[in-house]
Amino acid sequence: MLESTKPRDGIRHQDLVDELQAAYDDKIDVGIFRGRHHARYFRDDTTYHIIARTLRGFCLMRPDPWFNDMAAGVLGRAQHNFPSVRLYAFAFMSSHFHFQLRGTPREIPQFVGFIKGEISRRLGQRIGWDGPMWDGRFLATALPTPDAELSCLEYILSHGVKENLVARSTQWPGLHAAKQLRNGSQLRGSWLDGTSYGRAKYLAERRTSGDASKPLNPRDYCQSYEVHLAALPAWEHLSDCDRRGAVRNLLDKIAARARAMRGTRKPLGVSTVLKTSRQRTRRMPPPPWFEARRKLICWASRTAPATRAYLDEYWRFQLAFRQASEAFRKGDLTATFPPSSCSPPMYRAGAD
């Protein structure tokens, strides 16, 4: 997005605006969006890369058996609640998580927001974390071409290896799609039904009889959910066996590249990862598409027809939303917001 921050990596804002303007053939004055938040824009025929980071990069999601089971349960429950979302890949690192997915414009934000909210609530209670857990909004980047989808898949699968934490992606002790995509293995997690458990706990505490009742076991109020991975659209023409073979080739490529860069050094190893303090912070490296490419909204070739078509619709959506928002703030309650956008709620005086 175009943000009014200090230039990084030698990129000046005006250079970026000029580059964007050239890309859009002067159809829309994109410079008017500089320094402003953009409205969420999703299409149900486009794949997206989602990143959510913990506050200041704290390693709050350090993997352990309890967190893995809880996070898998939350992820499976989210898929149950928001069935339009098709998940293709994921990786839960200690300080952030990645998703590759598709879904309706309404359910994608709800899906990610549900996961962030449930993890922060359950993990916060577990570790005694009272403050905010996430570093603001999640970042969504469009992948409008097959090449972009495959590049993103390789990027997600490389997590844990590219940081020199483990030698192979399947060795990461946390939740990682490499294990499912490579072998077709099943991933299940536990979802604690907090409403039922809380009600039972409340009733148990109100009992006045002197009988020593058996303590409630939270596991009795858990449901098991499986995390399902759909076939990546770029690979839909392949059989399950061929897709797994392609994933194995990707994982071998990732491991070989990391081994060459590592030289004689060894990865930190699983035991070191599991001992990492949750209070430790990790500086997030810039995305692989560099700052200017991130601001171009898409992680794909700018000259590809699918990218240009997506960007054209994206900026027209932003312009329509901005115009409707400005009219609404001036008192025009009939202002029409573009489809799939989150328009302001309406209230009627004297309504029941």
Sign of the CA dihedral with 156 first, then 162, 167, and 171 last: negative
Asked if residues 83 and 89 have their Cβ atoms less than 8 Å apart, the reply is: no
Contact residues for 279 (Cβ-Cβ < 8 A; gap 6+): 58, 59
Asked if residues 172 and 159 have their Cβ atoms less than 8 Å apart, the reply is: yes
The CA–CA distances, whole Å, from 199 to 194, 196, 216, 219 equal 8, 5, 11, 15
Asked if residues 102 and 48 have their Cβ atoms less than 8 Å apart, the reply is: yes
| Stated pTM of the model | 0.85
What's the confidence (pLDDT) of residue 209? 54
Burial (CB count <10 Å: 0-12, 13-18, 19+), residue 275: exposed
What's the confidence (pLDDT) of residue 225? 95
Classify residue 327 as left (phi > 0), alpha (psi -120 to 50) or beta.
Answer: alpha
Ordered by where they begin, the domains of the chain are 41-206+215-301 (3.30.70.1290)
Asked if residues 252 and 182 have their Cβ atoms less than 8 Å apart, the reply is: no
Asked if residues 138 and 116 have their Cβ atoms less than 8 Å apart, the reply is: yes
Across the chain, which distance is largest between two alpha carbons, in Å?
80
Instruction: Report the Cα 340 to chain-centroid distance in Å.
Output: 19
What's the chain look like in SS3? Answer: CCCCCCCCCCCCHHHHHHHHHHHCCCCCCHHHHCCCCCCCCCCCCCEEEEEEEEHHHECCCCCCHHHHHHHHHHHHHHHHHCCCCEEEEEEECCCEEEEEEECCCCHHHHHHHHHHHHHHHHHHHHHCCCCCCECCCCEEEEECCHHHHHHHHHHHHCCCCCCCCCCCHHHCCCCEHHHHHHHCCCCEEEEECHHHHHHHHHHHHHCCCCCCCCCCCHHHHEEEEECCCCCCHHHCCCCHHHHHHHHHHHHHHHHHHHHHHHCCCCCCCHHHHHCCCCCCECCCCCCCCHHHHHHCCECCCCCCHHHHHHHHHHHHHHHHHHHHHHHHHCCCCCCCCCCCCCCCCCCCCCCC
What's the confidence (pLDDT) of residue 296? 57
What's the confidence (pLDDT) of residue 12? 47
Asked if residues 226 and 187 have their Cβ atoms less than 8 Å apart, the reply is: yes
Q: Tens place of pLDDT for every residue, the chain, 352 residues?
A: 333 333 334 444 455 456 555 655 555 566 556 556 788 899 999 999 999 999 999 999 999 999 999 999 999 999 999 999 999 999 999 999 999 999 999 999 999 999 999 999 999 999 999 889 999 889 899 999 999 999 999 999 999 999 999 999 999 999 999 999 999 899 999 998 877 777 777 777 776 555 556 677 777 788 999 999 999 999 999 999 999 999 999 999 999 999 999 998 999 999 999 999 998 887 666 555 444 444 557 788 878 889 888 888 888 888 889 889 889 888 888 888 998 887 777 654 444 4
Contact residues for 216 (Cβ-Cβ < 8 A; gap 6+): 197, 200, 201, 204
What's the confidence (pLDDT) of residue 318? 86
